């Protein structure tokens, strides 16, 4: 008990002394775990939303679809409805292929002809307004949201004006714009919204404009899981019937999220990497202090286990707090991320145990990887040595010193500062490469041209999947860039603090504050340069793993611009801490070192 109190007291005292560092670790882990939890949850959340919509709308287990409408089709569908595996059915009903215009936006639409009173299977849930009545239409909620149409508005379907009497959701089709399960005549489908009309209105609509019509039948099976067996058993060689199982529809819902998972999961790895580099740099900057602290604890009789606990507990506690926060953030944002259309209803349960475990492993890994080295060093250092520990002495690098002597003063100082801490230079390079990877990904996603959801692929109704990918990538890129900025400022400040004696000496020897500032900035820019150069092909390569076959690369000028902009931003973000460090009084710095 006494040990726990001691550990808690020491950890709290240290947290109070290093609030900024604690906040940085907490924030970085929160962002990383939230992103990872979201990435791992999108499939579960999408499935959960489908399941709940299916339950609320008596969703069919199988939808049988035929591209034809003749008596043979009617007979085939009727025999399906009478099949022994079927416990209930709805239909057959007409599916009319038309175009719809509302608020100046035009789209393909499939109109389902339904009864005034929905049956036992496929009962769309009206979320606003009322169910279909003669002369009126009900729009599927995802479609209505994309159009910006609500109950009471008017829409034009195949040239005829209809009042929108209600908005509803269904689990019989996949989310907007996947309402057309087969195309006219059983051919290929196009992006389409869904509308319902009464059976007679649908028939009139089809006949008045000679519109393509297909037939559909919703089936409820005795064993909802046995959809594949049912489909295989009822394939008719005479009449072509397509079967759409509820599992298939649920899977189709994920189509809109095809890129979301890799964006979030890979993004979370990159965010975690940046978190580790930033926290490792801070921890390395405190290594001497940690070693002295360990020496003090050893001197008063603490066992190595207790010392390791004290040193690691702070980071682990912060990482676990960040993990918990990240999971909460993921839970709150999951419905928006996993349901970019309004086609599904329901609440989202918390992350699964596997997701929680994975996010927690990530958080612990960030804490341990960033602090293990200084902790081990502190444990291994002899007590007396630890009590007088000073910052790690840089190595003599004659060839870098000789090379830098040929350069102007800022480069001379910058190169020598970079050489003092090659490990940190590598971290800075990696941090820059990660930033460039994120920007390359963002630019490449923006360079893609996709068919809009409007009529004939018009972008007046934007491609929701593309928009969703861009929004997610933008969010991930912003998080990555923000962490990289924090890292750059941290690296610059830590470099400046460790080299303050040398910089003060340089000042006494005639270096101007401007030269010191430029030197400190150069020390970050030198490793950033290869990082930015490597980041471009790395980003392109990483994207190619997930890109569609017809994906286009971002223009080279964009990528070059991204690398240059990253370097310029690095220069700008290093300037402030470098300038602050360079303006510290020389005499004070020398007295502190003397």
Partner 1 sequence: MNVSGAAVRACGLVKTHGQGQSRVRAVDEVDLEVPQGQMLAVMGPSGCGKSTLLHLLGGLERPTGGEVWVAGRRIDTMSERALARLRRRSVGFIFQAFHLVEELSAAENVELPALLAGRSRRQARRRASLLLERVGLAERARHLPSQLSGGQRQRVAVARALVNDPLMVLADEPTGNLDTAATLDVLRIFEELRSAGQTFVIVTHDERVAATADRLVSMRDGMFVDDTWLAGSHARGLGGLIGLEG
Q: Is the separation of the CB atoms in 114 and 179 below 8 Å?
A: no
Of 335 and 513, CB closest to partner 1: 513
Q: Is residue 221 helix, strand or coil?
A: strand
Q: Which residue has the tokens 């309004």?
A: 342
Q: Is residue 64 helix, strand or coil?
A: strand
Of 320 and 501, CB closest to partner 1: 501
Q: How far is CA 107 from CA 92, 163, 193, 458, in A?
A: 25, 17, 7, 8
Of 98, 105, 254, residue with least CA distance to 190: 98
Residues making contact with partner 1 (CB under 8 A): 393-398, 401-402, 405-406, 409, 412, 420, 501-502, 504-515, 585-587, 590-591, 593-594
Of 104 and 594, CB closest to partner 1: 594
- The distance of closest approach from Cβ of residue 503 to partner 1 in the complex, given in angstroms and rounded to an integer, is 10
- The distance of closest approach from Cβ of residue 266 to partner 1 in the complex, given in angstroms and rounded to an integer, is 39
- The distance of closest approach from Cβ of residue 517 to partner 1 in the complex, given in angstroms and rounded to an integer, is 11
CA 446 to chain centre: 16
- The distance of closest approach from Cβ of residue 285 to partner 1 in the complex, given in angstroms and rounded to an integer, is 18
Q: Is the separation of the CB atoms in 34 and 356 below 8 Å?
A: no
d(CA 186, CA 178): 15
Beta bridge partners of 62: 219, 245
Q: Is the separation of the CB atoms in 346 and 52 below 8 Å?
A: yes
- The distance of closest approach from Cβ of residue 384 to partner 1 in the complex, given in angstroms and rounded to an integer, is 19
Of 111 and 504, CB closest to partner 1: 504
Of 394 and 530, CB closest to partner 1: 394
Paired tokens of 353:
């145990």
Give DSSP secondary structure letters for 385-411. HHHT--PPPPPP-HHHHHHHTTS-HHH
Of 249 and 409, CB closest to partner 1: 409
- The distance of closest approach from Cβ of residue 512 to partner 1 in the complex, given in angstroms and rounded to an integer, is 4
- The distance of closest approach from Cβ of residue 398 to partner 1 in the complex, given in angstroms and rounded to an integer, is 7
Of 364 and 391, CB closest to partner 1: 391
Exposure of 65 in the CB half-sphere (CA atoms within 13 A): 25
Of 463 and 522, CB closest to partner 1: 522
Of 386, 378, 417, 387, residue with least CA distance to 401: 417
Residue 537 burial class via C-beta count within 10 angstroms: exposed 0-12, middle 13-18, buried 19 and up: middle
Residues in the chain: 594
- The distance of closest approach from Cβ of residue 407 to partner 1 in the complex, given in angstroms and rounded to an integer, is 9
Q: Is the separation of the CB atoms in 477 and 439 below 8 Å?
A: yes
- The distance of closest approach from Cβ of residue 441 to partner 1 in the complex, given in angstroms and rounded to an integer, is 39
Of 306 and 590, CB closest to partner 1: 590
Of 5 and 402, CB closest to partner 1: 402
141 Rama sector, left if φ>0, alpha if ψ -120 to 50, beta otherwise: alpha
Beta bridge partners of 111: 96, 195
- The distance of closest approach from Cβ of residue 399 to partner 1 in the complex, given in angstroms and rounded to an integer, is 12
């Amino acid at each position: 008990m006494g040990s726990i109190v001691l550990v808690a007291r020491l950890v709290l005292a240290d947290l109070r002394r290093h609030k900024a560092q604690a906040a940085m670790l907490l924030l970085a882990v929160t962002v990383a775990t939230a992103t990872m939890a979201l990435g791992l949850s999108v499939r579960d959340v999408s499935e959960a939303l489908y399941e709940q919509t299916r339950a609320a709308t008596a969703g069919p287990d199988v939808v049988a679809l035929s591209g034809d409408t003749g008596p043979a089709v009617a007979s085939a569908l009727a025999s399906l409805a009478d099949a022994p595996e079927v416990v209930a059915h709805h239909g057959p009903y007409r599916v009319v292929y038309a175009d719809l215009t509302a608020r100046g936006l035009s789209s393909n639409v499939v109109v389902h002809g339904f009864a005034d009173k929905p049956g036992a299977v496929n009962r769309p849930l009206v979320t606003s307004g009322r169910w279909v009545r003669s002369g009126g239409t009900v729009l599927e909620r995802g479609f209505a949201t994309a159009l910006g149409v609500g109950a009471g508005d008017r829409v034009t379907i195949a040239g005829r004006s209809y009042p929108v009497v209600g908005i509803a959701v269904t689990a019989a089709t996949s989310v907007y714009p996947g309402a057309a399960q087969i195309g006219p005549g059983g051919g290929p489908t196009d992006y389409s919204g869904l509308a319902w009309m009464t059976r007679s209105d649908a028939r009139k609509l089809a006949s008045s404009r000679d519109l393509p019509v297909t037939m559909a039948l919703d089936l409820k099976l005795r064993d909802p899981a046995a959809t594949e067996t049912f489909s295989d058993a009822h394939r008719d060689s005479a009449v072509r019937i397509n079967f759409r199982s509820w599992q298939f529809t649920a899977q189709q819902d994920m189509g809109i999220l095809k890129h979301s998972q890799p964006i979030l999961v890979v993004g979370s790895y990159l965010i975690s990497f940046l978190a580790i580099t930033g926290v490792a740099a801070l921890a390395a900057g405190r290594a001497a202090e940690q070693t002295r602290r360990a020496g003090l604890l050893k001197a008063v009789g603490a066992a190595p286990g207790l010392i390791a606990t004290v040193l690691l507990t702070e980071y682990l506690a912060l990482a676990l707090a960040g993990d918990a926060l990240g999971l909460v953030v993921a839970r709150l944002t999951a419905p928006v991320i996993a349901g970019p259309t309004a086609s599904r209803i329901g609440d989202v349960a918390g992350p699964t145990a596997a997701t929680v475990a994975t996010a927690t492993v990530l958080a612990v890994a960030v804490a341990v990887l960033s602090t293990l080295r200084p902790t081990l060093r502190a444990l291994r250092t002899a007590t007396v040595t630890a009590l007088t520990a000073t910052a790690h002495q840089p190595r003599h690098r004659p060839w870098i010193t000789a090379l830098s002597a040929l350069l102007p003063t800022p480069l001379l100082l910058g190169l020598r500062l970079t050489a003092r801490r090659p490990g940190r230079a590598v971290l800075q390079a990696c941090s820059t490469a990660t930033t460039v990877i994120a920007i390359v990904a963002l630019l490449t996603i923006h360079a893609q041209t996709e068919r809009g959801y409007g009529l004939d692929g018009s972008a007046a109704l934007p491609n929701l999947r593309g928009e969703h990918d861009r929004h997610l990538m933008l969010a991930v890129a912003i998080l990555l860039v923000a962490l990289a900025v924090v890292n750059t400022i941290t690296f610059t400040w830590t470099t400046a603090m460790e080299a303050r004696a040398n910089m003060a000496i340089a000042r006494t020897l005639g270096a101007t504050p401007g030269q010191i500032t430029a030197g400190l900035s150069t020390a970050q820019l030198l490793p950033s340069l290869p990082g930015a150069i490597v980041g471009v092909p790395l980003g392109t390569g990483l994207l190619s793993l997930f890109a569609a076959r017809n994906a286009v690369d971002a223009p080279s000028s964009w990528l070059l611009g991204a690398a240059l902009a990253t370097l310029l931003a690095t220069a700008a973000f290093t300037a402030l801490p470098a300038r602050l460090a360079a303006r510290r009084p020389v005499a004070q710095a020398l007295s502190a070192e003397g």
